[in-house]
Amino acid sequence: GTNVSSGAGGDVSGLPLEQQVVHYARAGAAAAAGDDAVKAAMAFHLLNGCFSRATGGFEGFTALAAAAASAAPGLVAALVEAVSEGAPQSLMAYNTLSYLALSAEVVPQLLSSGLVAVLVGQARAAATSPLEQQLLVSGLALLVTMTRVNAEARGRLAGMRGVAAALGGSAAPPGGGGAIAGAAAGAGGWGAGDRPCAAAISVPDESQVTSTPLPTPPAAFRLGFFRHPGVHG
């Protein structure tokens, strides 16, 4: 197959950043649709690298997110599917989704792609799997990002109070799990100067963990810029 880092015009790295984002978004979605997991993972890795080089603050991120989602309509669904597989690549998929969710237009796609159902499954697996615990923390933080950029997400997730409580409860197994329960409990804000992403989390102690639903959370942790080995260059 074609190298995802090359295009019809030659080396993609020489293109303007938004064009690189469009190229890798399309390449990743196409590879996922063709069941080429290796090529899809490489495309998403390169896409994350583009997002990490974004300039212009919050507006810069949202512009790139909107460009990626509009250029590759199957991108969000492909990433949610990658997350549901529970493999190490799921962390990279969550990272990509955390960038895309900064665009209010992308959030409805996340809600319609089964993300909440995936999170419920990860909550059940998290008690016995450290990897699933990492994925669940990333996913819960992604939900918080969604509620902060899109009114529809706030409304729809507010109607899932039982789901939010179940996620928070199942994420705190006896003898531990404070990080995950804290993620379920709430998140702090971030401003236009931050580089927001899903999983750089300052964990609260157990006394701060509540069952407050996600749309109106206390300031239990702060979203930061997540750099995971192998995700960013």
- DSSP characters for 152-215? HHHHHHHTTHHHHHHHHHHTS-TT--HHHHHHHH------TTS---S----PPPGGG-----TT
Asked if pLDDT for residue 163 goes beyond 70, the answer is: no
Name the β-bridge partners of 11: 6
Q: How confident is the model at residue 7 (pLDDT cuts 50, 70, 90)?
A: low
Q: How confident is the model at residue 133 (pLDDT cuts 50, 70, 90)?
A: confident
Condensed to tens digits (0 to 9), the pLDDT of residues 19-38 reads 999 999 999 999 999 999 89
Give dist(CA 221, CA 210) in Å, integer.
Answer: 13
Report the pLDDT value the prediction gives residue 20, as an integer from 0 to 100. Answer: 96
Condensed to tens digits (0 to 9), the pLDDT of residues 193-227 reads 344 433 333 323 333 333 333 333 333 323 333 33
Report the pLDDT value the prediction gives residue 161, as an integer from 0 to 100. Answer: 61
Segment 90-119 mean pLDDT: 87
Give dist(CA 50, CA 232) in Å, integer.
Answer: 9
H, E, C per residue of 76-134: HHHHHHHHHCCCCHHHHHHHHHHHHCCCCCCHHHHHHCCHHHHHHHHHHHCCCCHHHHH
Give dist(CA 38, CA 108) in Å, integer.
Answer: 28
pTM of this prediction? 0.65
Q: Are strands 10-11 and 6-7 parallel, antiparallel or unpaired?
A: antiparallel
Residue 105 CB: number of other CB atoms within 10 A? Answer: 14
Please give the DSSP secondary-structure letter assigned to residue 54. -
Report the pLDDT value the prediction gives residue 165, as an integer from 0 to 100. Answer: 59
99 contacts 48 by C-beta, under 8 angstroms: yes
Give dist(CA 123, CA 134) in Å, integer.
Answer: 10
* Mean confidence (pLDDT) of the chain: 70
Segment 1-21 mean pLDDT: 74
141 contacts 135 by C-beta, under 8 angstroms: no
Closest CA to 4 of 41, 54, 34, 53: 41
Residue % of the chain over a pLDDT of 90: 24
Closest CA to 1 of 25, 21, 28, 22: 28
Report the pLDDT value the prediction gives residue 124, as an integer from 0 to 100. Answer: 76
